[in-house]
Amino acid sequence: MEFAKLYFRSPSAVIGLLLFILVLAMAATADWLYPRDPLALAGRPLIWPFSNPRFLLGTDNSGRDIAAQIFHGARISLLIGLVATFISVMIGITIGAFAGYYGSWVDTVLMRVTEAFQTLPNFLLLLVLVAVFGSTITTVTVAIGIVSWPASARLTRAEFLSLRNREFVQAGRTLGLKDIKLIFGEILPNALPPVIVYASVVMAVAILLESALAFLKLSDPNVASWGNLIGAGRDVLRVQWYVSAIPGIAILVTVLAVSLVGQGLNDALNPRLKSR
Amino acid sequence: MRVLALAGRRLAASIPTLILILIGVFLLLQFAPGDTVDAMMAQMGGGDAATARHLREFYGLDLSVWAQLGNYLWRLVRLDLGFSAIYGKPVVTVIAERLPATILLMSASLSFAFFFGLIFGVIAARGVNRWPDTLISTLGLIFYAMPTFWFGLMAIVVFSIYLQWLPAGGFEDITVSLTGLARTLDIAKHLILPTLTLGLFYMAIYLRIMRGSMLEVLNLDFVRTARAKGMDETRVVVRHVLRNALLPMVTLIGLQAGTMLGGSVVVESVFSLPGLGRLAYESVVQRDLNTLLGIIFVSALLVIAVNFIVDLLYARLDPRITAGA
C-alpha cells in the first residue's frame, strides 16, 4: 500500500501506467474489434485516415487495414518485449549470480564473456543471429534476449558481491545449505529489485530492436508487426507518409509507457532519491 | 606516461575479448544455411557439383571447422580478412571503402549528442522542477522512446519532401563532380539529417545523465565553498561543477560506442549512406559471411579504440585515477 502511494505520487509514473494500460487494452481487444486477419486484403489501397469510416486509420499500400495492424501489432510488440526481456534477465541473473557468488576464476571467465558481448555491437550480433537461424518470431525473440543480457548480469553480479558475505548468508552456510540453494533461495531474492527495475529498460530496448529489425525486413513477415508496417510505408513515403507515421507513434507510446513505469517503480523503490 | 601505461594495459586486456568474439562468431556462422560458395554459385546462375567442390577446395572450405578457424585466425594476424565473393574484392578493401562514411556519421552524431546533451542537461539541472526542466526532460523522454529509423523517415518527409531544404539520402551529390570546399559542404549537407537521426537518441540519454550528475555535484561541499568565496554562479558551474559532472558522461561514450555502431546500420539504410552498417545489412541479405565476419572484427576494434580514448580522457579529467594505479 505504501508502495502504491509512493508510486502514484509522481505524475509521470501515473501517465506511464495509463499509457501502458492503453496499449494492453489494444492488445486485449484486437481479436474482438478486428477479428479478421490483419494482414489480409481489406479494401482499396492507400485510403487516407479519417476519410472512410470503415477504415479509421486508412489502408496501407497493399490495401490492408492500418488500424487492425496497429491493434494486432500491440500484441506482437508486447509479446516480443516481455518474452525477450524474460530470456535476457534470466541469462543475466544466472551469469551474474554465479560470477558474483563464486568469484575467482569463475568470475574472470564469465566477465570475459560478458565483456565480449558488450564489445560486439548488439545490433550486429542480432543481424548475425537472424542470418544464421532465420527470422521467425521465435528466433527473433530469442535472439533479442541473447543480445541484451550483459547489463543485467553486471547488475546482479554487483548485488551478489555486496551480499555474499552478509550474516544471513553466513548463517545459511553454517546450516549446511548447498550453494545452489544459497544462491537462488537466499541471496537472489535480495538482489532482485534493481534487476527488475532495470528490466523495464531491457523491454523498451527489446521493442525498439524488434521494430528496427522488422523495418529492415529481417523480422517475421507473417505477423502484424509495427516495424513491418513502417517498412512497407517507406515505399509510399513521398505522398502517403501516414502509413509509416501511424505505427511509429504506436511504438513511441509503448516504449514511453514502459520507460515511465520503470522510472516510477525505481523512484518508488528508492524514495530517498525521489526528492531530486 | 602512467596514464598511457594504464590505458595500454586495458588495451592489452581487450585482446582476449577480441579473440573470444571472433571464435564465437566464426563458430556461429558455421550454422548458417549455405556458405560463400553457394552464394557465388547462385550469383553465377548455378553450376555443377564438381565446380562447387573445386571452389570449396580453393577457399579451404572442405577442411574441418577447427582447421578453418585456425586458418582464419592466422590470416587475421597478417591483417588478411579474406576475399568477398560477392564484391569480388578483398574484404579489407570493401570495408576500407565503407569505413569513412560510418566514422564520419558516428563522430558527428556523438559530438552532437554530447554537446547538446551537456548544454540541455545543465539548463535542466539549473532550473530543476521548473518549466525548462520539465520541457527538456519530457522532450528527452520522447526522443528516447522514438524509433530512430522512424524519426529519420519523418525528417525526410518534412525537410526533404515538403520543405526541400535537405537531400533525402546518399553521401554526396553524384550528378555533379565537386572538389575541395564545395564537396565538403555538399557532404555536410547530406549528413545533417542522418546525424540528427542517430544523435537525438543519444542526446536524450546524455542529457538525463548530465542532469542527474549535475544535481549530485551541485550539493557537494566544494561547490558550497566556491559559492561562499563569492564566485559568481557561471564560474562555479563551468570551473567546478562541470568538470566533475562530466565523468559519467565520458564513461557513457565508451559504453555506447557499440550500440551507436549498431544504430548506424539502421540509419545508413534509411538514408542510403555507403557505410559499414549498410554493408553489414547487405552482407546478411546476400549471405556474404566473410565480409560479415570482417565487419564484426573491425567494429569490435572500433569499440576497443573508442574505449582506449575514453580511458585517456578519463584520466585527464580525474587525476585520482592515475594516482590510484
- pLDDT, one tens digit per residue, over B205-246 is 998 888 888 888 888 888 888 888 888 888 888 888 887 888
CB contact under 8 A, A133 and B31: yes
B83 beta partners: B90
- pLDDT, one tens digit per residue, over A96-130 is 999 988 888 899 899 989 988 888 888 999 988 98
Those of residues 147-186 in B touching chain A at CB distance below 8 A are 147-151, 153-154, 156-157, 161
CB contact under 8 A, B258 and A230: no
Q: What residue type is assigned to position B124 of the chain?
A: A
Range of the domain at B192: 101-277+300-322
Residue of A116, A127, A230 lying closest to B150 (CB–CB): A230
- pLDDT, one tens digit per residue, over A49-64 is 777 777 777 777 777 8
CB A26 within 8 A of CB A249: no
Residue of A122, A132, A259 lying closest to B28 (CB–CB): A132
Q: Is residue B264 part of a domain?
A: yes
DSSP SS3 for A216? coil
CB of B193 less than 8 A from some CB of A: no
Mention every residue, 6+ apart, whose C-beta is less than 8 A from residue B261.
A121, A123, A124, B102, B106, B276, B277, B299, B302, B303
- Residues of chain B neighbouring A121 (CB-CB closer than 8 A): 258-262, 299, 303
For range A171-195, the mean pLDDT: 86
* Domain count along chain B: 1
CB of B142 less than 8 A from some CB of A: yes
Give me the pLDDT at residue A139, please. Answer: 92
Give me the residue spans of the domains in chain A. 75-229
Q: Which residue is listed with cell 536524450?
A: B204
Q: Is residue B181 part of a domain?
A: yes
- Listed residue (A38, A162, A19, A142) closest to A86, CA to CA: A142
- Residues of chain A neighbouring B258 (CB-CB closer than 8 A): 118-122
Provide the shortest C-alpha distance from residue B181 to chain A (in Å).
31
CA–CA separation, A238 and B161 (whole Å)? 7
Give me the pLDDT at residue B1, please. Answer: 63
- pLDDT, one tens digit per residue, over B7-56 is 778 788 888 888 888 888 888 888 777 776 776 777 777 777 787 788 77
Give me the pLDDT at residue B325, please. Answer: 40
Q: Mutate which of B29, B106, B143, B149 to test chain A, going by most A C-beta atoms within 10 A?
A: B149
Those of residues 55-114 in B touching chain A at CB distance below 8 A are none
- Listed residue (A34, A185, A33) closest to A97, CA to CA: A185
Lowest mean pLDDT among A248-262, B17-31, B35-49, B308-322: B35-49
For range B122-129, the mean pLDDT: 84
CB of B28 less than 8 A from some CB of A: yes
Q: Report residue A38: phi and psi, to 5°.
A: -65, -20
Q: Is residue B208 part of a domain?
A: yes
* Confidence band of B324 (pLDDT split at 50, 70, 90): very low
CATH of the domain at B118: 1.10.3720.10
Q: Is residue B291 part of a domain?
A: no
* Confidence band of B175 (pLDDT split at 50, 70, 90): confident
B90 beta partners: B83
Those of residues 254-293 in B touching chain A at CB distance below 8 A are 255, 258-263, 265-266, 269, 280-281, 284, 287, 292
DSSP SS3 for B49? helix
Instruction: Indicate whether A255 pLDDT > 90.
Output: yes
CA–CA separation, A13 and A17 (whole Å)? 6
Q: Is the pTM of this model over 0.95?
A: no
Please say whether the structural domain A75-229 has been given the CATH code 1.10.10.410. no
Q: Mutate which of A80, A112, A120, A132 to test chain B, going by most B C-beta atoms within 10 A?
A: A120
CA–CA separation, A182 and A176 (whole Å)? 10
Q: Is residue B40 part of a domain?
A: no
CB of B220 less than 8 A from some CB of A: no
Burial of A145 (0-12, 13-18, 19+ CB in 10 A): buried
Give me the pLDDT at residue A275, please. Answer: 46
Alpha helix (H) residue ranges in chain B: 2-29, 36-44, 49-58, 65-77, 91-126, 131-145, 148-155, 180-218, 221-228, 233-235, 242-270, 276-285, 289-317, 320-324
